[in-house]
Structure 1
Amino acid sequence: MSGAWGRWIRERRIAVGLGIGAGRRALASLLTWPGRLRVRLGASRAPAIVLVPQDLRTTDPVRADELAAGIFTFAGRTVEAADPFTITPPSEDWAEALATFSWLRHLRASGTPEAAEAGRRLVVAWIAAEGRRHPAGRADTVAAERIRAFIGASGLLLSGADQVFYRRFARALWRQVRDLEARLPRVPPGKDRLAVLIALVTAALCMSGEEKLLAKASRLLGEELQAQILPDGCHVSRHPGIIVGLILDLLPLRQLFPARNATPPATIVTAVDRMMPMIRFFQLGDGSLGRFNGMGPTPIDQVATALVYDDTRGTAPLSASHGGYERLEAGPAIVLVDAGAAPPARYSGDAHAGCLSFEFSAGRDPIVVNCGVPPILKAAWRTDARKTAAHSTVSVANRSSMRIGTGIWSEGLVVSGTGPVTRERRGQSLVARHDGYRSRLGVVHVRRLDLAATGDRLAGEDRIEGADQPYTLRFHLHPGVEVIPTEHPQAALLRLPGGDGWRFVADQPVAIEESVALAQAEGPRRALQIVVAVASSAAIPAVTWAFQRLERPQKRAEPLPEPELPLG
């Protein structure tokens, strides 16, 4: 009872803290209303755009032709329309993707007169739709991305444009910047606040007459980077993918400061330097990033672009002690382990209950993965994707190792979960334990992993210490892995896409069940999982298991032909 009572007190304390923070942001936002009202009722400025930032994200000329022809493909849906802002969107994801205007980069890269005309037509359509309070474009991060997209494509849009369009475009941009600046106090901490501040600093550097905004926004951006980027380069939310997007946003921003004879905050420079090695840290053999804490499909093109700017060109670090991850690497094998506590509640909107889960690849073939997050239909899968059962780890009594809040202020945030994780590492061996189940179920999970020096064997042991509870080991397989039936009840044979064979063996019966690979570029895809279920931790406190690479059979050499004696 004392454990449950202590947990209840901790959860209430977290909820109260979140409520106080939300209240302060709401009050700060309320105080900005007079200024926002003056902007809406008063005359707007039409500032000059003096700089255009570099865009490091890849472009597609085919997409540019489609956009010019009125074909809009976002979030897995395609719509044909002359004015896409007047139709009923097929999904919320589609509407948000349209409203970001990030697709302007394809038209910008095309650079043709047809692309410029299409871009101007769509910007004018948006301005008219925004006048009707187009709902999809009101989100803070959507507005931030649209501001950066407008500025980035301004060279294309304004080249050859008449004075009427120039003034209309510049005024619309100025109003959006003012509105986003006024909404800044209400933006919660985390990646959304970083996105808004990056947009404001970009606007201040690229538009004339924004010295005051530049001083304020750059100072706040530096403070947020200092708070959110940990000393080892991980983001405080423990989401691997955030660092890739931040690097691609901050690198062009660093170049803009000297162009305006301004000095960037030192934290911008150091944050990029800290984050860059972590991209290599989170990469498996195929280049994808580990599917932990909200990570979806890896944008391989963005990862490759970011790594071009890695001056160190070094090997990946083996430990991220502040972020709570470990990397085992030997021969062609790589193992990534989530060995960290839940992030602070205010940064935990993407956190998953996957403590002590791991991903494992051999060469370019991922073998064991987590389910991850889908690129589309995120809301439908959000709850299930965050559960412990969606990760390659142990779930106790079919429960998750952390609890997600459902209150007004704690909705979607972690209110209780794993505390500090104890880790002991020697070379390519790791022993870690977490207490995410202690207060509710009275147990502690201990996992041991040993990667052979040759990389052809990964051995493990999972132990449940404390009260008697049922528990289940899950090893979610990459959808490219084929499971070959075997009569052995404690083993399974695996065939990898590259042709190699692996054998999984445990000291308890093994079952093969259906799973789903969510983090696929095409959307959720059927997969399989290896399951070892134990009814009583008192009777069977530990399960040992191993993945072992099978030797490929060697082809027999053909016998040499018998020499023939000459006749005659």
Structure 2
Amino acid sequence: MSVEFAKSAPAMRRTPEEDAELWARLTGRSGEESTASPIHRLKIAGAAPDGFGVYPRAIAPADDMRGESLMRDIWRIGMDKIQMEAGRAPWSGRLPSKHFADRLHRFDWLPDVFTQGDAGADRARFLVDDWIENFGRFNGFAWRAGCAADRIWNWMICGPALFEVGDEETVHQRLDVLGRQIRHVESLHDDCTEPAARWRISIVLVLNALCLKRGKGLSEALTLLENECTAQILPDGGHVTRAPARGLRSMLELCVLRDVIQRSDRAVPPFIQSWIERLGGMVGFFRAGDGALPPFNDGHESLPEAVDAAIEQLGTSPRRFTVAPKSGFHKLVKGETSLLLDAGAAPEQPFGDRAHAGALGFELHDGAARLVTSCAFSPEIDIDWQAAVRRTSAHSTLILAGEDSAPFVRNDETGLTFPDGPEGISAKRLEEADEIWLDAQHGGYKKHFGLLHRRRLFMSGNGRRLAGEDSLARPVSAGPADDSRTIAYTVRFHLHPTVTVMMGDNSIRLETETGAVWRFKTSHEAARLEKSFYLGRGVIEKTSQIVLSGRAQADSDGSGPPNCVRWAFLKDRPA
């Protein structure tokens, strides 16, 4: 593990008091318990819905493996696992952490349980009813805006299997608690500072108008959703957070709404169709050879089946392009080899509160195999690990003096930190004679160290050679440096956990899960292998990283050592 990353890596065990302090610090306002004043209780009071006029239908497939595990009463979230006695709900005992409790109360797992036949459906309904008995009136933690909105979505998407099975009193109670939660999140939307919660609230309010209120309030709900679409989806179809998985989820939810609107014999608003098409184009842009997505920012690999489901909703193949200028990504594709470069600054507030400082980091794939990545992210992994992998050292890029390429600054409105910058990030592309050049740079280290980080990439026409150069240069306009001391730097290449790596005399051998063999070569003398971690598949996996270290001169133009490091990935054997 890197020195910088080790400093921010989380402890394995915490007391309840330490866990509460960590939760408050790393979740900000979104982690604060909701309150229910007498006035608020009046707002959310009301008659239970009289049933669904139409049900939403899930488009993304459920996770059968998780469903099977839950049927064995094994509840696994990130590093933590609890084994419940048969017939007991997970919240009936002490939970490992607030993060674990938060993931439980969102009910993302509920559709997975419903996939397990009649026994699974019975089990799923029991868990909903048990939750209603314990938390259905109100609970400050479980009724936070984002948590409640996710739960509403996950209940509604389960459809008649949840809301039409059981005795009359039980079904009425489910509908009553559903209606109360919808009114609750609706009252919170205007003051909510969490973009993900605002999005989900707008989605469930449209579903509420269509499915439960037979169209009443639909115009207002659609206006709210259109505003969120404009705020959270970029013109090129990328999500404003610059996380591919966020864009995928947004697209799938809009497709669910489109389907419900069509089955309600209503015209689909043009903005919904337009945003679906743009989001679908970006899903296709990011889609890797294995069918999943790259884990940029607070995104994860995503199930390939979910990506396939989204692409199918387009009706035609998504348009092909290699530059997403608003989202800040460049793509190189030759033969079986593809590379995605992050050449964009962090999002504006409040959308950057979970963004990463990974400027000029890249993903390198060989067909269905992943080679170079980052330490990645997963919403399932505990929040201290989520915070640790936001650092620059958790990405495949250059780090100067152990500092982040974009410093983290506190957002007073949300209580969270966001990466600020980096300034001057850009990339230029040249395609000539079937070869591709990328020339990118950023000025994240210019203010404190007077140096620009420049990364140049070259991919051969057959995709079997990726050559790179990382340099640190002082701009001529800055004049001579006042300090002659050298500055430590490190270039990191985090390898995917499916890669088998071996240090050789003149190169580093990399074998992918498909059997292809690559070699990493460099003229730099201090190449070594270190331990690393990967979060992108919902668990913490051990892996390796290639590390190149040196000391940069403050006055260098970056044209040669020690301020210039050249390296290459060479394909020796195909799969």
**Do Structure 1 and Structure 2 share a fold, with TM-score over 0.5?**
yes
2:439 maps to which residue?
Answer: 431
Following superposition, the deviation at residue 519 of structure 1 comes to: 2.6
Following superposition, the deviation at residue 259 of structure 1 comes to: 3.0
Structure 2 CA distance for aligned equivalents of residues 513 and 450 of structure 1: 24
Q: Is residue 2:547 matched to residue 1:547?
A: no
Q: Deviations 1:508-565 (Å, cap 9, x if unpaired)?
A: 1142232323234261222221111121233622122111122589xxxxxxxxxxxx
Structure 2 CA distance for aligned equivalents of residues 58 and 180 of structure 1: 26
1:50 maps to which residue?
Answer: 53
5 Å-filtered alignment, 1:392-471, equals 392-406=396-410, 408-409=412-413, 411-414=415-418, 416-427=420-431, 428-466=436-474, 469-471=487-489
Residues 411, 418 of structure 2: 8 Å contact kept:
no
Following superposition, the deviation at residue 409 of structure 1 comes to: 3.3
Q: Is residue 2:540 matched to residue 1:531?
A: no
Long gaps (5+) in structure 1: 1-21, 554-568
1:485 maps to which residue?
Answer: 503
Q: Which moved more, 1:195-204 or 1:233-242?
A: 195-204
Structure 2 CA distance for aligned equivalents of residues 255 and 352 of structure 1: 34
Q: Is residue 2:189 matched to residue 1:184?
A: yes
Q: So what's the TM-score if we normalise by structure 2?
A: 0.83
Following superposition, the deviation at residue 440 of structure 1 comes to: 2.2
Structure 2 CA distance for aligned equivalents of residues 510 and 244 of structure 1: 40
1:137 maps to which residue?
Answer: 142
Long gaps (5+) in structure 2: 1-27, 475-480
Q: Which moved more, 1:332-341 or 1:92-101?
A: 92-101
Following superposition, the deviation at residue 323 of structure 1 comes to: 0.1
Structure 2 CA distance for aligned equivalents of residues 497 and 115 of structure 1: 34
Q: Deviations 1:75-107 (Å, cap 9, x if unpaired)?
A: 552432534243222333432333223333245
Residues 357, 393 of structure 1: 8 Å contact kept:
yes
SS of residue in 2 equivalent to 1:470: strand
Amino acid at match of 2:60: R
SS of residue in 1 equivalent to 2:350: helix
Q: Is residue 2:132 matched to residue 1:127?
A: yes
SS of residue in 2 equivalent to 1:431: strand
2:254 maps to which residue?
Answer: 250
Structure 1 CA distance for aligned equivalents of residues 301 and 492 of structure 2: 21
Structure 1 CA distance for aligned equivalents of residues 422 and 83 of structure 2: 44
Q: Deviations 1:402-458 (Å, cap 9, x if unpaired)?
A: 122246436433252213422210122110111111222221111110100010000
Q: In structure 2, do the counterparts of structure 1 residues 436 and 250 end up closer, same or farther at CA, with 3 Å as the change threshold?
A: same
Residues 400, 489 of structure 2: 8 Å contact kept:
yes
Q: In structure 2, do the counterparts of structure 1 residues 179 and 451 end up closer, same or farther at CA, with 3 Å as the change threshold?
A: same
5 Å-filtered alignment, 1:141-540, equals 141-188=146-193, 190-208=195-213, 211-212=216-217, 214-314=218-318, 316-406=320-410, 408-409=412-413, 411-414=415-418, 416-427=420-431, 428-466=436-474, 469-488=487-506, 491-521=507-537, 523-537=539-553, 538=556, 540=562
Q: In structure 2, do the counterparts of structure 1 residues 86 and 234 end up closer, same or farther at CA, with 3 Å as the change threshold?
A: same
Residues 510, 519 of structure 2: 8 Å contact kept:
yes
Q: Is residue 2:105 matched to residue 1:88?
A: no
Structure 1 CA distance for aligned equivalents of residues 184 and 527 of structure 2: 56
Amino acid at match of 1:47: D
Structure 2 CA distance for aligned equivalents of residues 265 and 144 of structure 1: 23
Amino acid at match of 2:156: I
Structure 2 CA distance for aligned equivalents of residues 258 and 551 of structure 1: 51
Residues 511, 532 of structure 1: 8 Å contact kept:
yes
Moved over 6 A (4+): none
Q: Which moved more, 1:393-402 or 1:404-413?
A: 404-413
Amino acid at match of 1:87: G
Amino acid at match of 1:230: L
Amino acid at match of 2:468: G
Structure 1 CA distance for aligned equivalents of residues 292 and 425 of structure 2: 25
Amino acid at match of 1:95: A
Q: In structure 2, do the counterparts of structure 1 residues 170 and 551 end up closer, same or farther at CA, with 3 Å as the change threshold?
A: closer
SS of residue in 2 equivalent to 1:326: strand
Q: Which moved more, 1:413-422 or 1:335-344?
A: 413-422
Residues 190, 237 of structure 1: 8 Å contact kept:
no
Q: Determine which structure has greater relative contact order: mean sequence separation of CA pairs < 8 Å that are 6+ residues apart, divided by chain length.
A: 2
Q: Deviations 1:253-290 (Å, cap 9, x if unpaired)?
A: 01212333444432221111001121221133323322
SS of residue in 2 equivalent to 1:550: strand
Q: Deviations 1:53-89 (Å, cap 9, x if unpaired)?
A: 1112323667667766766555552432534243222
Following superposition, the deviation at residue 325 of structure 1 comes to: 0.2
Structure 1 CA distance for aligned equivalents of residues 249 and 305 of structure 2: 12
5 Å-filtered alignment, 1:10-21, equals none
Residues 146, 194 of structure 2: 8 Å contact kept:
no
2:19 maps to which residue?
Answer: none
Q: In structure 2, do the counterparts of structure 1 residues 330 and 39 end up closer, same or farther at CA, with 3 Å as the change threshold?
A: same
Q: In structure 2, do the counterparts of structure 1 residues 357 and 160 end up closer, same or farther at CA, with 3 Å as the change threshold?
A: closer
Following superposition, the deviation at residue 374 of structure 1 comes to: 4.0
Amino acid at match of 1:94: F
1:6 maps to which residue?
Answer: none
Structure 1 CA distance for aligned equivalents of residues 54 and 145 of structure 2: 23
Q: Which moved more, 1:243-252 or 1:497-506?
A: 497-506
Q: In structure 2, do the counterparts of structure 1 residues 65 and 334 end up closer, same or farther at CA, with 3 Å as the change threshold?
A: closer
Q: Which moved more, 1:97-106 or 1:331-340?
A: 97-106
Q: In structure 2, do the counterparts of structure 1 residues 381 and 109 end up closer, same or farther at CA, with 3 Å as the change threshold?
A: closer
Q: In structure 2, do the counterparts of structure 1 residues 522 and 512 end up closer, same or farther at CA, with 3 Å as the change threshold?
A: farther
Residues 479, 527 of structure 1: 8 Å contact kept:
yes
Q: Which moved more, 1:98-107 or 1:363-372?
A: 98-107
Identical-pair percentage: 29
Q: In structure 2, do the counterparts of structure 1 residues 209 and 478 end up closer, same or farther at CA, with 3 Å as the change threshold?
A: closer
Q: In structure 2, do the counterparts of structure 1 residues 48 and 374 end up closer, same or farther at CA, with 3 Å as the change threshold?
A: closer
Amino acid at match of 1:137: A
Structure 1 CA distance for aligned equivalents of residues 574 and 103 of structure 2: 47
Q: Which moved more, 1:361-370 or 1:238-247?
A: 361-370
SS of residue in 2 equivalent to 1:205: helix
Structure 2 CA distance for aligned equivalents of residues 70 and 470 of structure 1: 50
Amino acid at match of 1:499: G
Following superposition, the deviation at residue 136 of structure 1 comes to: 4.5
Structure 1 CA distance for aligned equivalents of residues 147 and 502 of structure 2: 46
Residues 375, 532 of structure 2: 8 Å contact kept:
yes
SS of residue in 1 equivalent to 2:440: strand
Residues 145, 185 of structure 2: 8 Å contact kept:
yes
SS of residue in 2 equivalent to 1:224: helix
Q: Which moved more, 1:58-67 or 1:345-354?
A: 58-67
Q: In structure 2, do the counterparts of structure 1 residues 499 and 510 end up closer, same or farther at CA, with 3 Å as the change threshold?
A: farther
Amino acid at match of 2:540: P
SS of residue in 2 equivalent to 1:349: coil
- State the Cα RMSD in Å: 2.9
Q: Which moved more, 1:397-406 or 1:52-61?
A: 52-61
Residues 164, 171 of structure 2: 8 Å contact kept:
no
Structure 2 CA distance for aligned equivalents of residues 415 and 109 of structure 1: 40
Q: In structure 2, do the counterparts of structure 1 residues 189 and 264 end up closer, same or farther at CA, with 3 Å as the change threshold?
A: farther
SS of residue in 2 equivalent to 1:493: strand
